[in-house]
């Protein structure tokens, strides 16, 4: 039983604790509480982290690690479908080695900045399992499926993804499927995926209602995205029947296993339907700002009772000014969310970046909280103020975290231990 001590403990699942401590054993958390109550239970020398706030490792519910090196390459478009053309073009010039380097660089950015679990969309499943070995992060990998024509039958697309899941499956690995979006797939693929998810209990992630154009395409069967995809040979008979969320509902996809990504545009009744079916929503604040979408319907979703979590999306959709370099960083996402929603409390924002994300990825009670039985996934950021300011201090944190631990092992050891016992298991 090893003991960590910190000036402030922020369990997220309960109120912050001054002079707190976490007792750990076997990669899990044993007890959480005040230092003076736990100090005698330690076996071995406790580790005093000093002037820090100690909290659960952050959960980044939506990312595309393999696009990290596209940072700053695609200027924000005026029309969403133009961006789709740009990224398709950019991807054509990339080799497998480019994707590999990009994936690993992205994972390094997240580990440095306090993420310990990430839900990642894998456009290049061939990178796995090698890419996983390059990072200490817990990765939930969703295999991406795209196909707007029946040239490759949906059953074949799904069968290939299923085969990859089976091949990669092993204890401790987490895999799911990601039909990319309603507009970039056909209904048959969505229906078959929903059936597989029900049978296998696999988790799903789908981009949905991201742009006004997608909303217009499905709701009214018109608009520039509609015209472009029609010209590209997509069968458009699934359009004009209701919102993108309704479309997923018709295809049987709305369930507690689904992580709906973006959900920026809602029709009346959509928020209630998502809540009723237990669907989780991932909001990506900087990607949202990059595309200048209408305000994210945070209140409508929250009032309906939808579990809302945060994601970074890819760096291809994070604005990067001249001489700036954007990083995958959930603290930056929390700040972007706070700037767009000044009424939102710091504690709520941190919940979205931790416990809510864990729930969305099917890791409730294991990730995103400091609680007995949860994984010993912890991060520390500098903190020397009074306890009542701790959430504000966390939101203001910039750059690398002071320490990060995943399953009781240092992913980023605190400064003074780096020279001597870096990465030693506790």
Least distance to Zn ion, CB of residue 311, Å:
7
Size of the site for Zn ion (CB under 5 A): 1
Largest CA distance in the chain: 71
Shortest Cβ distance from residue 70 to Zn ion (Å)?
12
Which of 120, 117, 136 lies closest to 356 in space, CA to CA? 117
Closest approach, Cβ 64 to Zn ion, in A, equals 6
- Choice between 6 and 274, CB closer to Zn ion: 274
Shortest CB 366 distance to Zn ion, Å: 24
C-beta neighbour count of 177 within 10 angstroms = 25
Q: Smaller CB distance to Zn ion: residue 87 or 395?
A: 87
Q: Are 341 and 299 in contact (CB under 8 A)?
A: no
The residues that bridge with 375 in the sheet, in sequence order, are 28
From the list 307-315, 328-336, 338-346, 416-424, the region that binds Zn ion by CB under 5 A is 307-315
Choosing from 69, 313, 351, 377, the residue that interacts with Zn ion (CB under 5 A) is: 313
Nearer to Zn ion, 208 or 273 (CB): 208
Nearer to Zn ion among residue 313 and residue 377 (C-beta): 313
CB of 84 to Zn ion, least distance (A): 12
Stretch that binds Zn ion, among 31-39, 148-156, 167-175, 313-321 (CB under 5 A): 313-321
- Nearest Cα neighbor of 272 from 309, 301, 243 is 301
Of 327, 337, 335, residue with least CA distance to 298: 337
Given the rule CB under 5 A, which of 242-250, 273-281, 312-320, 342-350 is the region that contacts Zn ion? Answer: 312-320
CA atoms of 409 and 246, how far apart (whole Å) = 44
Quick one: tokens of 328? Answer: 């995958």
Q: Nearest approach, Cβ of 409 to Zn ion (angstroms)? A: 29
Shortest distance, CB of residue 257 to Zn ion, whole angstroms? 18
- Under the binding rule (CB under 5 A), the answer on residue 120 touching Zn ion is no
Residue nearest to Zn ion (CB): 313
Integer Cα distance of 130 and 116 in angstroms: 18
Nearer to Zn ion, 66 or 313 (CB): 313
Residues with Cβ within 8 Å of 81's Cβ and at least 6 positions away in sequence, in order, are 211, 213, 224, 225, 228
Tokens of 162: 């299923």
How many whole angstroms separate alpha carbon 395 and alpha carbon 397? 6
Residues in contact with Zn ion by CB under 5 A are: 313
């Amino acid at each position: 039983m090893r003991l960590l001590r910190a000036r402030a403990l922020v369990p997220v699942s309960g109120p912050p604790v001054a002079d707190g401590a976490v007792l750990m054993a076997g990669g899990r958390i044993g007890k959480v509480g005040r230092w003076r109550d736990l100090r005698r239970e330690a076996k071995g020398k406790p580790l005093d982290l000093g002037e820090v706030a100690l909290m659960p490792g952050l959960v980044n519910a939506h990312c595309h690690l393999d696009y990290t090196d596209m940072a700053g390459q695609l200027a924000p478009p005026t029309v969403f479908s133009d961006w789709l053309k740009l990224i398709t073009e950019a991807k054509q010039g990339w080799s497998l080695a480019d994707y590999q380097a990009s994936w690993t660089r992205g994972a390094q950015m997240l580990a440095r900045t306090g993420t310990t679990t990430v839900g990642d969309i894998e456009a290049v499943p061939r990178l796995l399992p090698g890419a996983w070995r390059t990072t200490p992060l817990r990765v939930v990998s969703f295999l991406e499926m795209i196909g707007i024509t029946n040239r490759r039958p949906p059953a074949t697309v799904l069968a290939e993804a299923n085969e990859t899941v089976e091949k990669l499956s092993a204890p401790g690995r987490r895999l799911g499927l990601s039909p990319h979006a309603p507009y970039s797939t056909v209904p048959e693929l969505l229906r078959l995926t929903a059936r597989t998810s029900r049978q296998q209990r696999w988790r799903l992630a789908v981009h949905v209602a991201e742009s006004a154009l997608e909303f217009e395409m499905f709701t009214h069967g018109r608009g520039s995205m509609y015209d472009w995809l029609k010209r590209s040979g997509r069968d458009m008979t699934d359009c004009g029947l209701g919102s993108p969320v309704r479309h997923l509902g018709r295809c049987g996809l709305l369930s507690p296993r689904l992580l709906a990504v973006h959900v920026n545009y809602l029709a009346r009744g959509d928020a209630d339907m998502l809540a009723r079916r237990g669907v989780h929503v991932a909001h990506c604040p900087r990607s949202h700002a990059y595309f200048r979408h209408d305000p994210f319907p945070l209140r409508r979703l929250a009032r309906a009772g939808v579990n809302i979590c945060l994601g970074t999306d890819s760096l291809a959709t994070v604005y990067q000014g001249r001489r700036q370099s954007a990083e995958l960083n959930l603290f930056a996402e929390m700040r972007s969310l706070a700037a767009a929603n000044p009424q939102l409390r710091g504690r709520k924002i941190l919940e979205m970046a931790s416990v809510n994300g864990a729930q969305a990825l099917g890791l409730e009670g294991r990730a995103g909280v400091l609680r007995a039985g949860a994984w010993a996934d912890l991060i520390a950021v500098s903190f020397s103020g009074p306890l009542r300011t701790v959430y504000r201090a966390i939101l203001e944190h910039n750059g690398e975290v002071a320490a990060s631990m995943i399953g009781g092992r240092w992913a980023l050891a605190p400064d003074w231990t780096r020279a001597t016992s870096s990465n030693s298991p506790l």
